[in-house]
Each structure stands twice: as C-alpha cells, then as structure tokens.
Amino acid sequence: MSVLVTGAGSGIGKAAAHLLAERDFKVAVTDLDEEAAQRVAAELDSFSTVLNVTSRQSIREAMDEAEAAIGPLDGLVANAGVSSFVSFLDMPDADWHLMLDVNTTGVFYCGQEFARRLVAANRQGSIVNVASMAAKQGRIPWLSHYVASKFAVVGLTQSMAFELAPHGIRVNSVCPGYVTTSMQRRELVWEGKLRGMTPEEVFELYVKDTPLGRIETAEDVARAIVFLLGPDSSFITGEALAVNGGAFMD
C-alpha cells in the first residue's frame, strides 16, 4: 500500500511516516520544507518532495511525482497544519485566513485531488485527516481561528466519507490532544506569555488536563493514523477518533 503524508517533515507527520514504513507501507514524505522532507525520507530510504497544501498545482505535481516513484497511491494522511495564539478581539484578517487556508482548505484540496485519482482509476483507498481535540469543543482561549479550522476538518471528513463511500474510499479523522512536537514547544511559549506563566508551568497545566497523566507523543497519534489506514479499520468511515489521553472528554 502506498501512502502520501503531508507535513511529514516533523511532528505527527514524521512519526506517521516512520510507523508506516515500519509496517511495510510505501511512503511519500511531503512537506512545505523540502529539506525537512528529504531528511525524513533519507531515514526511511523513501521518496520525498515539496508540497504546499494551499496550492492545487503543488499538490498535483507532488502526487504525480509520488506515483511515479512508489506506484499508485492507496492512502493519504492530510496532516499539514499551522497554529498561532491570538485573542478573538485582536484577530488580524491575515491570521484568520492563514489558519483556514492551511488547516481546512489544504485538507479539502489534498483530499479532492487524491479521491479524483482513485475514482478515475476505479481504485479503493483510505484518507485520514488530522484534526484536533479543538475540533471536539471550542472552550479554548486564544485559538478561535484554529478551533474553527479544525471543527471544519471534522465536518468535511464526515461529508467526504458519505459521498465517497460508494467508491470504496474511506475517510476518517484523528483528534490529537496535547502532543509533544516542535509546534507545541512554540505554543508553550506563546501561551505562557498570554497567561503570565513560564512554558514549564503551562506544560504542567497540560499534564493536569490529561487524565492519563502524561503528554501524548507523536507516536501515539501515528498508531491511530496507521490503524485507520489499514485493513483492521475496513468498516470504519466518517469517524473523528479522539487520541488525547482523555483530555476534553465529550
């Protein structure tokens, strides 16, 4: 099975690419940061290319290159995303549009291009969209744009799943919690400044919010992604799987 992963140069995407390779999937490592993608691909002895999820042309070119290198794609992990901390009242238009462009429109563009290829070739496949626990409820300060973008991913996932099911294409999402990544390290600093706390103090708040008592790793999320791509989830579609150690339980 051949899978393309977006935002695979670091964090959850990198962990997913590694685990997929360990499970004998063929992996196309893609990222806006071409050097980061190349580093991960070198670790896996795999293929990499640059991919900008806000550009349809970039997506088409990356998928064309991936299929030439590792064969027809069977799976897509739409993982690429961004975040920032800004109060709702102070939200600049640029911050709002960037969040929606990358986190939501990017998922739409990638999923549509991938699904069109499968349908044209009469092939079945699986898509996993990376959302967030912020897609489960919006009681999170300074992240209204991020919350909106991730709620949209869950809704889009459900709609995609319904429309694509007759073609044998499954679509699910994962909703990670507080994940130890480079993005989270930046967020600890941003949130600390807004709260008047140190990053270490904010980190402890995250731990206290998580009933299982630890911060989740990118590998925790990767295991859920690989499950949803593989045969053990062959009758699961349209789901938003919470992978968050119990934080923000519904």
Q: Which residues are catalytic?
A: 146
CA–CA separation, 220 and 16 (whole Å)? 9
22 contacts: CB under 8 Å, gap ≥ 6: none
CA–CA separation, 55 and 24 (whole Å)? 30
- DSSP per residue over 14-58, as a string? HHHHHHHHHTT-EEEEEESSHHHHHHHHHHHT-EEEE--TT-HHH
SS3 percent helix, strand, coil of the chain, rounded to 5, is 55, 15, 30
| CA distances, 226 to each of 34, 65, 75, 79, 99 (Å) | 24, 23, 10, 13, 26
Query: Do the beta carbons of residue 172 and residue 226 sit within 8 Å?
Result: no
CA–CA separation, 134 and 248 (whole Å)? 9
